Amino acid sequence: RKEVEQDPGPFNVPEGATVAFNCTYSNSGSSQSFFWYRQDCRKEPKLLMSVYSSGNEDGRFTAQLNRASQYISLLIRDSKLSDSATYLCVSLSGGYNKLIFGAGTRLAVHP
Amino acid sequence: EAGVTQFPSHSVIEKGQTVTLRCDPISGHDNLYWYRRVMGKEIKFLLHFVKESKQDESGMPNNRFLAERTGGTYSTLKVQPAELEDSGVYFCASSLTGRLANTGELFFGEGSRLTVL
């Protein structure tokens, strides 16, 4: 089983829609950290936001972590065309130097 | 400020040939990482340098891969001899601190796409 699993999508949504992605993980330690990265087509991955157990929000983006159920979510409100990208769920290994990536969920926002 | 730069952006070689990929990290970043994404799979860790020392090379697939970072600045990743399954995108990343738990932020280059025929 992969350490981080995501639905590959694609999620096709109209502008203004709210969309949510989930990600499940395994082999967690209580101190394991999680992040969402964003990758545009043929570009490099870039950190979108960290994920905290208490939930955290950055503008239109909300990330949640449920350690009991071992899943992470990303909610995007009021989708923009520029949100079209692949969203990568990422965990940090226990050694704190190695990112473990999910395969990514592709989002396409259309007019 | 310049980001992480990688060269070449795309390389097409035949099976059995040698390819060397280069990465220039962000200036001042002691930590340098190599990752790769093979077709249809997730991005996977290859190794981690702290300055010129290999901190963790647990992700290196086999001894056909050799990474170096002489002088603790730029790094090279050599594949010799290349096999078909080595095709993919090789990403280099750098960070100021090796303890990523605080921010999880690695700065990635755009990647070197390797095609082995």
The average pLDDT across A26-35 equals 73
pLDDT surpasses 60 at A8: yes
Q: How far is CA B100 from the centre of its chain?
A: 18
Q: Is A102 an 8 Å CB contact of chain B?
A: yes
Task: Report how far residue A45's alpha carbon sits from residue B51's, in angstroms, rounded to the nearest whole number.
Answer: 23
**pLDDT for residue B3:** 93
State the best of B106, B110, B113 to mutate against chain A, taking most chain A CBs within 10 Å.
B106
Residues of B in contact with A100 (CB under 8 A): 45
Strand ranges in B1-117 using DSSP code E only, listed in sequence order: 5-7, 10-13, 19-24, 31-37, 43-50, 53-56, 65-68, 75-79, 88-95, 107-108, 112-116
A109 at interface of B, judged by CB pairs closer than 8 A: no
Residue B74, CA distances (Å) to A24, A108, B78 in order = 36, 36, 13
- Of A23, A99, A105, which to mutate for an interface test with B (greatest number of B Cβ within 10 Å)? A99
Tell me the two tokens of residue B43: 């991005």
What's the whole-number mean pLDDT along residues B19-23?
98
Identity (one letter) of the amino acid at B77?
L
Give the pLDDT of residue B97. Answer: 78
- Over the stretch B69-111, which tens digit does the pLDDT of each residue have? 988 899 999 999 999 999 999 999 999 877 776 677 899 999 9
Closest residue in A to B94 (Cα–Cα): A97
Average pLDDT, rounded, for chain B = 93
Q: How far is B91 from chain A (nearest CA, A)?
A: 8
CB contact under 8 A, A97 and B99: yes
Q: What is the pLDDT of residue A72?
A: 94
Q: Which pLDDT band, with edges at 50, 70 and 90, does A30 fall under?
A: low
Q: Is the dihedral of CA B94, B61, B85, A90 positive or negative?
A: negative
Q: Encode pLDDT of A54-84 as tens digits.
A: 889 999 999 999 888 899 999 999 999 999 9
- Residue pair B40/A86 in contact (Cβ under 8 Å)? The answer is no
- Lowest-confidence segment of A8-22, A83-97, B12-26, B74-88 by average pLDDT: A83-97
User: Taking CA atoms, what residue in A is nearest to B103?
Assistant: A50
Whether B14 contacts chain A with CB within 8 A:
no
How far does the CA of residue B45 sit from the closest CA of chain A (Å)?
Answer: 7
Residues in chain B within 8 Å Cβ distance of A97 = 31, 48, 55-56, 98-100
Q: How many Å separate Cα B22 from the centre of its chain?
A: 8
Q: How many helices (H) and strands (E) does chain B have?
A: 0, 11
**pLDDT tens digits, one per residue of B30-44:** 999 999 999 889 999
By three-state DSSP, how is residue B105 classified?
Answer: coil
| Confidence (pLDDT) at A31 | 58
Average pLDDT score over residue span A18-27: 91
Residue B112: name the closest of B2, B22, B33, B1 by CA.
Answer: B22
pLDDT at residue A102, as a whole number: 95
Distance from the Cα of B22 to chain A's closest Cα (Å) equals 16
Q: Name the band, by pLDDT with cuts 50, 70 and 90, for residue A92.
A: confident
pLDDT at B1: 66
